[in-house]
Amino acid sequence: FYALYMRSSLARRVVTLHPSPRVLDANSSSPAVSPERYWGSYRPQVYFGMKTRSPRSVVTGLMWMHQFAEMDGNLRHTCEQGDHLLGYGWLMHDGVSFGVQEIHDRDFTLTTEFVKRMGGDHGGDWTWRITAKQHGTALSTPVVSLMFYASTDGQGSLQAHVEEKNRVSSVTGTSEELGNFKITFGKPTAGEGASAKYARYNFLQTRSPGLDKLTDIVKNSLNHKFIFSPPKGEKRSYFAVDTYKVTNHQNQQNDPKMESDFVVHQVTVQTPFQIEVLFESGSFRERPNQLVGSVLTDELEKRKVAFDEKFEATFGLQAKGFTSSHIKFAKAALSNMLGGMGYFFGPSVVQSVYNEHPVLYPEGPLFTAVPSRSFFPRGFLWDEGFHQLLLSKWDTQLTQEVFAHWLDLINIEGWIPREQILDDEARSKVPSEFIVQHNENANPPTLFLALQELLEQLDAELVSSQTMLPFLRKLYPRLQVWFEWFNTTQVGPVPNSYRWRGRDKDTNLFLNPKTLTSGLDDYPRASHPSADERHVDLYCWMTLASGVMANVARILGEPHQVYENTHRSLSNNDLLNELHWSENLHAFSDYGNHTQAVSLQQEKVFVPPGQPRHQFPVARLVRSVRRAPKLQYVNALGYVSLFPFLLHILTPDSPKIEHILQAIKDPERLWTPYGLRSLSRADPLYMKRNTEHDAPYWRGPIWININYLAVRALHHYGSIEGPYKEKAATLYQELRTNLMNNVYKQYLETGYIWEQYNDSTGRGQGSHPFTGWSALTVLIMAEKY
Ligand code: 6A9
């Protein structure tokens, strides 16, 4: 009985939130407290859509189809790389009140704009304007169907108002969170002031079991029987939403209460055209006029001017002499990060050693930027620290809110789940084996980098201490337990050393078992994971974290001695050298049970009896170890070896800097014309696959987050007195130029900012658009470190 009791209470710890007062007041995201941020483009996973910062928001969105083109799979809705769009993303977005996005489909471009207007008790009104223009290269004038939709999410109701010919003129609705509202659909015109164009209309009003099913419902309701017959044009039948035969969705509880209203308004019209959609809040009474037509145009114009001014005041790219094309690129990078902010609500799925099966974490909100709107539109812990380095320059308050959301997710153990997959929409994008988050797993505490930036803003009086200090005071108990969690669960085998937990366990299948928790996935570590390891990047993160903790404590007048002591010990370069300097490599290195004599070999194996085709031998790659591992330095040269430099832990007179600068500028090792590669060309694992299915990831390609830290460090050591000042300053200029030029060039050529860049060709690769940390290029251009 006792054991059982122990087991269940231990098992509960992983899902018990930390008891300290939350940073976010219960109502802080409500329209009463924060009306300006209530509505937003907080659905980064769709090309265009809005929702409110609330748990069960009514959502609005856009799908579209190109009629009379190859039809299959032509419906666009969620951002998918498989759609092969020529490019899309926000070109302007202030994070609060307006945004301008361009979506380049094969034969036409959609411009999606929104403007908000405050008033009433529910976050006010907004208007969308969609403008479609065909490309010069299009063979015929495209006919496009826009499908505007609104859906409730388990709360509230919607009613379509249909005029003659199936045209939905408006949708009225109500929900607890939004009160009464009305959405009005304008008619398509050739431009402002022009009369309505020939168009066909269709609509669907049905019930949906969840937001992740909206695309399917629309697809399943399409019917080809409708006729598009413009004056002077040929008659053709086109696809449109018709009736949706409700099927029993798998996993559906068949509880009608769980179903939501879903209304689709389809407009089919030939390009060019422009359409407006107006959302009006019922509580907004003294509206001076409607936010449409020339009123909207004027509003948009004002916001654009304000955006441009703020952009220049913040980043000063014009003053630095950048071309207008460069500046447009930088604005797009920042804007897509802002326009990629998401508001998610739900529980993570988590596990500790005390749970036999995964369990649900408490439901909660997360307001966060996302790395990639197409491939991973959700929160990632260490990505977010990088995101906030950029966003805090633009909007300190936004950064504070993001911090508050992330730190409010901390559990009683001091753990924050690394990848936040909170709702059905998010879960629908992730293979099941990646969903569960384990409570022994860390992820680099980059939020301390962003916090350091906030402290610098406070110091420079760029932000008022009247808002910053209360924020820090609320954050502080959570920062303490978070730091403590790292400093106890991730310690290494010898004093002052640290070790990432959660490395891959099956050493036979991987050339080098991955360390997803470090953020650097397949970057080479000790070949045989063991408790004897120590990791130099984590040592450096802890040095940074303890220093920032000491500062926060000092600012708040809290005891800071413990943090200061830790910081002083870890900052002692003799200790760092003793734990991590490899004389063989002339570089900083991990230490562990390791051998270099590993390779992947083809092996013929028989599939076990009982499985299909078990009588046939199958070739697969398995790891062969030619020499036994022993305790030694890992001796891989790459990003991990640079960390003492990247995080400014080396004293400016450290002779190690000389070695680091040499490795950095050596084309046979880390230097490329496009930025620093992640792993030395000379390393045995350079560009090696980890399994037959796992292409090299952090084994050569150029990543912008680490390159940002590298230019920042070169800038740092190039500006303070020391024997390496000049060398660092020279390299700073070169690396900065290479990075800016390449990310910019790739954007022009491909229409996207990318997850990583090829170290031989500079080409963007991996997921796209990736305006997560790759958008740090803006800070590199602005030289804001
Ligand atoms: C897999 C596939 C449709 C990998 O940017 C997010 C993370 C980084 O934190 C990490 O450092 N990325 C980097 O090594 C992307 C991780 C994507 C995992 C999702 C599911 C979805 O299939």
ipTM of the complex: 0.97
> 382: Cβ below 6 Å to ligand 1?
yes
Give me the pLDDT at residue 689, please. Answer: 95
Cα of 757 from ligand 1 centre, angstroms: 16
Tell me the C-alpha distance between 630 and 733, whole Å. 42
Q: Is the pLDDT of residue 134 over 60?
A: yes
Q: Is the pLDDT of residue 613 over 60?
A: no
Tell me the average pLDDT across 350-374: 95
Tell me the C-alpha distance between 120 and 416, whole Å. 37
Tell me the C-alpha distance between 81 and 527, whole Å. 34
Give me the pLDDT at residue 165, please. Answer: 84
Reported as type and span, the H/E element at residue 602 is strand 598-606
Measured at the CA of 458, the angle between CA 332 and CA 706, to 5 degrees, comes to: 45
What pLDDT, in 10s, does the model give residues 207-228?
A: 999 999 999 999 999 999 999 9
Ligand 1: nearest atom to the Cα of 375 = 3
How many residues are recorded in the chain?
Answer: 785
Of 390, 424, 419, 391, the C-alpha closest to 406 is 419
Cα dihedral 203, 208, 212, 216 sign: negative
What pLDDT, in 10s, does the model give residues 700-712?
A: 999 999 999 999 9
Tell me the C-alpha distance between 313 and 144, whole Å. 40
What confidence category does residue 505 fall into, taking pLDDT thresholds of 50, 70 and 90? confident
What pLDDT, in 10s, does the model give residues 413-426?
A: 999 999 999 999 99
What confidence category does residue 250 fall into, taking pLDDT thresholds of 50, 70 and 90? very low
Pairing relationship of beta strands 98-104 and 587-588 according to DSSP bridges: unpaired
Tell me the C-alpha distance between 1 and 464, whole Å. 56
Of 422, 419, 480, the C-alpha closest to 451 is 480
Catalytic residue among 521, 532, 603, 783: 521
Tell me the C-alpha distance between 712 and 479, whole Å. 25
Tell me the C-alpha distance between 675 and 664, whole Å. 10
Peptide bond into 272 cis (omega under 30): yes
Of 716, 654, 739, the C-alpha closest to 330 is 739
Pairing relationship of beta strands 379-380 and 419-420 according to DSSP bridges: antiparallel
DSSP string across 559-579: --HHHHHHHHHHH-HHHHHHH
What confidence category does residue 196 fall into, taking pLDDT thresholds of 50, 70 and 90? confident
What pLDDT, in 10s, does the model give residues 657-667?
A: 999 999 999 99
Give me the pLDDT at residue 45, please. Answer: 97
Give me the pLDDT at residue 244, please. Answer: 75
Cα of 376 from ligand 1 centre, angstroms: 6
Give me the pLDDT at residue 608, please. Answer: 64
Give CA separation, 225 vs 189, 235, 240, 283, 349, in Å. 25, 12, 8, 41, 45
Mean pLDDT, rounded, of the chain: 94
Tell me the C-alpha distance between 580 and 222, whole Å. 62
Peptide bond into 769 cis (omega under 30): yes
Tell me the average pLDDT across 683-691: 96
Tell me the C-alpha distance between 749 and 329, whole Å. 12
Tell me the C-alpha distance between 683 and 669, whole Å. 8
Give me the pLDDT at residue 232, please. Answer: 86
Give me the pLDDT at residue 653, please. Answer: 98
* Amino acid (1-letter code) at residue 206: T
Ligand 1: nearest atom to the Cα of 443 = 9
Q: Is the pLDDT of residue 614 over 60?
A: no
Ligand 1: nearest atom to the Cα of 381 = 9
Percent of the chain with pLDDT over 90: 89
Give me the pLDDT at residue 72, please. Answer: 56
Cα torsion 302, 303, 309, 315 to 10°: value is -170
Give me the pLDDT at residue 617, please. Answer: 67
Q: Measuring from atom 5 of ligand 1, which residue has the nearest CA?
A: 371
Q: Any catalytic annotation for residue 125?
A: no
Q: Which of 81, 375, 500, 517 to mutate to test the pocket of ligand 1 (most atoms within 8 A of CB)?
A: 375
Tell me the C-alpha distance between 222 and 199, whole Å. 18
Give me the pLDDT at residue 93, please. Answer: 98
Tell me the average pLDDT across 192-213: 93
Question: What is the CB-side half-sphere exposure of residue 160 using CA atoms within 13 A?
Answer: 22
Tell me the average pLDDT across 89-118: 97
Q: Which residues pair with 127 in a beta bridge?
A: 115, 278
Percent of the chain with pLDDT over 70: 95
What pLDDT, in 10s, does the model give residues 719-749?
A: 999 999 999 999 999 999 999 999 999 999 9
Rg for the chain, CA atoms, rounded: 27
List the single range of 181-185, 613-617, 635-639 with lowest mean pLDDT.
Answer: 613-617
Tell me the C-alpha distance between 539 and 499, whole Å. 8
What confidence category does residue 243 fall into, taking pLDDT thresholds of 50, 70 and 90? confident
Strand ranges (E), 85-178: 87-93, 98-104, 108-117, 125-134, 143-151, 157-162, 168-175
DSSP string across 635-658: ---BHHHHHHHHTT-S-TT-THHH
Check: CB of residue 636 under 8 Å from CB of residue 681. Answer: no
> 383: Cβ below 6 Å to ligand 1?
yes
Cα of 459 from ligand 1 centre, angstroms: 35
Q: Is the pLDDT of residue 275 over 80?
A: yes
> 429: Cβ below 6 Å to ligand 1?
yes
Q: Which of 376, 425, 428, 437 to mutate to test the pocket of ligand 1 (most atoms within 8 A of CB)?
A: 376
Check: CB of residue 571 under 8 Å from CB of residue 547. Answer: yes
* Amino acid (1-letter code) at residue 474: K
Give me the pLDDT at residue 737, please. Answer: 98
Q: Any catalytic annotation for residue 177?
A: no
What pLDDT, in 10s, does the model give residues 593-606?
A: 999 999 999 887 66
Pairing relationship of beta strands 168-175 and 179-185 according to DSSP bridges: antiparallel
Of 540, 571, 574, the C-alpha closest to 642 is 540
> 519: Cβ below 6 Å to ligand 1?
yes
Give me the pLDDT at residue 750, please. Answer: 98
Give me the pLDDT at residue 3, please. Answer: 47
Cα of 320 from ligand 1 centre, angstroms: 35
Give me the pLDDT at residue 284, please. Answer: 96
Cα torsion 523, 524, 525, 527 to 10°: value is 140
Q: Which residues pair with 87 in a beta bridge?
A: 104
